Amino acid sequence: MANNEESRGLKSLFDWFANRRKSGPTSLERQEREIADGLWHKCSKCSVLAYTKDLKANQMVCIECGHHNRVDSDERIRQLIDNNTWKPLDEHLRPTDPLEFRDRKLYSDRLRETQDKIGLIDAVHTGLGQINALPIALGVMDFRFMGGSMGSVVGEKLTRMIEQATQRRYPVVIICTSGGARMQEGMLSLMQMAKISAALQRHKDARLLYIPVLTNPTTGGVTASFAMLGDIILAEPKATIGFAGRRVIEQTLREKLPENFQTAEDLLQHGFVDDIVPRTQLKNTLTQLIALHQPVLTPPHMVLWETMSLTSTAAE
């Protein structure tokens, strides 16, 4: 009896394997293939699988845990700018290799490979567009391009965009994400910090609004320049924001740093950031801030009315 049951059990196990072979790829294999195809997305925080389409509809914010998954620059522009209003600027600017720099690879090879792989010329998109019908100049950095590092092209494109904004009296918004200056361009990369900051100062002198949005991660020379020069500085939840890395600071101070060190929440508490805005509310928040800071154009009849009331006050 026991033998019979055992052999039945064995037989059914064989059947199960046979059926499994016949039924083709398992749901797990299929799932892995679909992840590779980009149909599904696994949250890097809670590992929950979500349909990429659903996740994109929620602006790549995990529906389960609220984790802000990384967004590329094209998707960011779609999220923020009204349809058919985006006009890219200076798309022809290409990086060069003036120092003929070589680390493990030649910088020129590294550039070409990255450009071919992700279809971008450098690590920033700049342009003019409308956000809920209000005009803005928008710069969006892309972490996929050499860690969003700031080389000459990033610096030049942002500077030209800020100058355009000053001329047209547009507010500037920059979505920051960067590992810092691009070491392969040495000093030329560091000079971009001063160049962008100078353009922002002229924008500020013209009494115009600049809002940087710090996303995960914003570090190094970008934090040390335009990311922290905003009139209002916004950040995404849980974004890492800092200058030097945690390990370097810990080794220098010989102290263990707190868990939330260099997070958006910690920076908000210490007054470096003005607000933390979830990505799903970013477009509306930016619109409200920009609408509040629209330059007041005094209509002619108002001027007349003001002059009259001043005169009448004076007469009294």
Find the DSSP H helices in the chain. 2-22, 27-37, 52-57, 73-80, 107-118, 152-168, 186-205, 220-223, 246-253, 264-269, 282-292, 300-315
Q: Exposed, middle or buried: residue 186 (CB in 10 Å: 0-12, 13-18, 19+)?
A: middle
In the bound state with Zn ion, the residue whose beta carbon lies nearer, of 54 and 64, is 64
In the bound state with Zn ion, the residue whose beta carbon lies nearer, of 63 and 232, is 63
Provide the minimum distance between the beta carbon of 73 and Zn ion in the complex, in angstroms, as a whole number: 22
Provide the minimum distance between the beta carbon of 241 and Zn ion in the complex, in angstroms, as a whole number: 21
Among 234, 225, 232, 172, residue whose Cα is nearest residue 203: 172
Provide the minimum distance between the beta carbon of 66 and Zn ion in the complex, in angstroms, as a whole number: 7
In the bound state with Zn ion, the residue whose beta carbon lies nearer, of 61 and 123, is 61
Provide the minimum distance between the beta carbon of 252 and Zn ion in the complex, in angstroms, as a whole number: 34
Provide the minimum distance between the beta carbon of 49 and Zn ion in the complex, in angstroms, as a whole number: 10
In the bound state with Zn ion, the residue whose beta carbon lies nearer, of 38 and 300, is 38
Provide the minimum distance between the beta carbon of 138 and Zn ion in the complex, in angstroms, as a whole number: 28
Scanning 35-43, 131-139, 212-220, 274-282 for contacts with Zn ion by CB under 5 A, the matching segment is: 35-43
Whether 235 contacts 268, CB under 8 Å? yes
Distance separating alpha carbons of residues 277 and 95, to the nearest angstrom: 33
Give bridge partners of residue 181 from the DSSP assignment. 150
Provide the minimum distance between the beta carbon of 147 and Zn ion in the complex, in angstroms, as a whole number: 23
In the bound state with Zn ion, the residue whose beta carbon lies nearer, of 67 and 144, is 67
Token pair in block for residue 291: 């609408």
Q: Which residue in the block uniquely carries the two structure tokens 């985006």?
A: 86
Cα atoms in the Cβ-side hemisphere of radius 13 Å centred on 157? 26
Distance separating alpha carbons of residues 20 and 297, to the nearest angstrom: 73
Distance separating alpha carbons of residues 110 and 102, to the nearest angstrom: 9
Provide the minimum distance between the beta carbon of 44 and Zn ion in the complex, in angstroms, as a whole number: 8
Cα atoms in the Cβ-side hemisphere of radius 13 Å centred on 280? 13
**Residue 110 binds Zn ion (CB under 5 A):** no
Q: Exposed, middle or buried: residue 115 (CB in 10 Å: 0-12, 13-18, 19+)?
A: middle
Angle at 121 between CA 85 and CA 87, to 5 degrees: 10
Distance separating alpha carbons of residues 280 and 79, to the nearest angstrom: 9
What is the footprint of Zn ion within residues 36-95 (CB under 5 A)?
43, 45-46, 62, 64-65, 67
In the bound state with Zn ion, the residue whose beta carbon lies nearer, of 56 and 293, is 56
In the bound state with Zn ion, the residue whose beta carbon lies nearer, of 219 and 240, is 240
In the bound state with Zn ion, the residue whose beta carbon lies nearer, of 48 and 198, is 48
How many residues interact with Zn ion (rule CB under 5 A)? Answer: 7
In the complex, the residues that contact Zn ion under the rule CB under 5 A are 43, 45-46, 62, 64-65, 67
